[in-house]
Amino acid sequence: MDKIYFNRMSFYGYHGVFEAEAQLGQRFYVDLVLALDLSRAGASDDLNDTVNYADIFDCVRKIVETERYNLVEALTARIAGQLLQSFPIAEVTVKVTKPNPPINGQYDSVAIEMTRRREDMNV
């Protein structure tokens, strides 16, 4: 299976269990790995034979910036499900990084990563 990678897309969202997170918001980073057959696109050099990168970006941006979730786990699952539903991909790995969660201590970030397959999602 071929893969398309989206690395460290940056969005501003209002996700988290605390009221301050819902009101102030914060930066979130999203990485994707899309698994699909790219042999036709490689031979044809035609955008219609692959997924449009801008459409993928816009789909993720809309979810992160306009929807609200308490848990990064729910946000990550929502992105994976919507991508599988909206685009002809066989499998997606979504990693959502929250660089500044309200944790008292030293750390770089917290991230959730999920892999979902079309065959498992009934889409």
* For range 56-70, the mean pLDDT: 98
The domain spanning residue 34 has which CATH number?
A: 3.30.1130.10
Among 23-32, 51-60, 100-109, the least confident range: 100-109
State residue 62's pLDDT score.
Answer: 98
Determine the Cα–Cα distance for residues 123 and 117; give it in Å rounded to an integer.
Answer: 10
* For range 67-82, the mean pLDDT: 98
* For range 88-93, the mean pLDDT: 97
Give me the number of domains the chain comprises: 1
* Catalytic residue from among 3, 62, 95, 98: 98
Range of the domain at 106: 2-121
Q: Is 98 a catalytic residue?
A: yes
